[in-house]
Amino acid sequence: MTINPRLDGLGEYTFTQLNQLLAPIAPRANETPVVMSIGDPLHEPPALLHETVMQNARFWNKYPPMAGTPEFRAAVAAWLTRRYRLPPGYVTPGRHVLPLAGTKEGLFLTSLLAVPEKKAGQRPVVLLPNPYYVCYQGGGGMSGAEPVHLDASAETGFLPDLDAIPRAILERTALFYLCSPSNPQGACASLDYLKRVLGLAREYDFVVALDECYAEIYDKAPPVGGLEAAASLGGEPEKLLVFHSLSKRSSAAGLRSGFVAGDPELIAGFLRLRNYGGCQVPIAIQAAAAALWSDEAHAIENRERYRRKIDAAADALKGRFGFYRPEGGFFLWLDVGDGVAAAEKLWREAAIRTLPGRYMAQPDARGRNPGERYIRVALVHDEATVAAALARMVRVLQG
């Protein structure tokens, strides 16, 4: 069988590695298993979702428009304008917005859209934070680009150090994946940081794919966004694509509804690409998504639930394992010395499933993996379950 060799170059999928690690281990029978390894939102989705889908059930026999319904695009443009305080008309439904079957699809396809055969006469580069969402690695690798991992450690504020990127790399860069709030560390890029990223993109002619899917889950201040930075620079959101999803904001991961917005030339190219191989979003789902983007009440309630769970984590951990309150998102990034060993011990002795940080990162030239010491813990369960699980975690890791 002939398989594209680039697939082998991606390495093993994150959760395949985790399954291989924990499969031989039988957790203690007297503990109830708690899965905190995956960011699977467990809050009840708003009733508005089901009601709107049912109201639009008559459209299940229709092929959906790949470009999205006018109602969906208008709801997204209006939400972006409100959320990021954009000038009226800066984002227009027809030129700047496109629906996606979740952001994972769009983030992956961005590499196929933005990476040329050569850049500056050489193999193009895709920049990605390290640790990273595995989709970035997949898109960059399958496009034929050279992935360049930019360490995002405590020393760099858990975001890539822009000053540390060599000019020779920037000249070959075709695409820069960035996540804010970052996954797994929960760091939020400042307005100045995002303006610097866009400045580099325009100077060196590369695309910024800004993953903002955790932007509505935050602790204190709402994170600034890429479109906000672009608007402050003036002109069109050139070289920029931002990605949002209802998976976290509305606890609707199963809806598979997201969008990409930004540079109208890139959006037009994205539509052409998706016409060949993208997933159309059903009309009933677009209707539900439009209703959810138009409703703030459920998003506020959802955000408050996550804040209370961060409070519970602060009470349970009391600063241990390098605990800090993430600015955004619902993950804890805990320094346990050896993430793989801790994940094994927590599963064996506490029946708690966590994700070793090394599975989300690549080693640098010195062989140092910035995720080696960490585990990622997803606070997706109810407050009582989170508090009890973290108490078990402390007991086992300090025992």
pLDDT tens-place string over residues 309-359: 999 999 999 999 999 999 999 999 999 999 999 999 999 999 999 999 999
Structural domains present in the chain: 5-44+298-398 (3.90.1150.10), 48-295 (3.40.640.10)
Rounded-to-integer distance, Cα 195 and Cα 211, Å: 15
Rounded-to-integer distance, Cα 79 and Cα 86, Å: 10
Q: Which residue reads 């508005």 in tokens?
A: 48
19-26: list long-range contacts, CB under 8 Å, 24+ apart: 21/340, 21/343, 21/344, 21/356, 22/343, 22/344, 22/347, 22/353, 25/344, 25/347, 25/348, 26/348
10 compared with 111, residue with greater pLDDT:
111
pLDDT tens-place string over residues 81-118: 999 999 999 999 999 999 999 999 999 999 999 999 99
pLDDT tens-place string over residues 170-216: 999 999 999 999 999 999 999 999 999 999 999 999 999 999 999 99
Rounded-to-integer distance, Cα 265 and Cα 238, Å: 8
Q: What is the pLDDT of residue 1?
A: 64
Residues in the chain: 399
Three-state DSSP state, 127: strand
High-pLDDT (> 70) share of the chain, %: 100
Let me know the angle formed at the C-alpha of 9 by 6 and 11, rounded to the nearest 5 degrees: 135
DSSP 303-337: HHHHHHHHHHHHHHHTTGGG----SBSSEEEEE-S
Three-state DSSP state, 144: coil
pTM above 0.75, yes or no: yes
**The two structure tokens encoding residue 386:** 């989170």
Tell me the C-alpha to C-alpha distance, in Å, between residue 87 and each of 78, 198, 230, 234, 236.
11, 18, 11, 10, 12
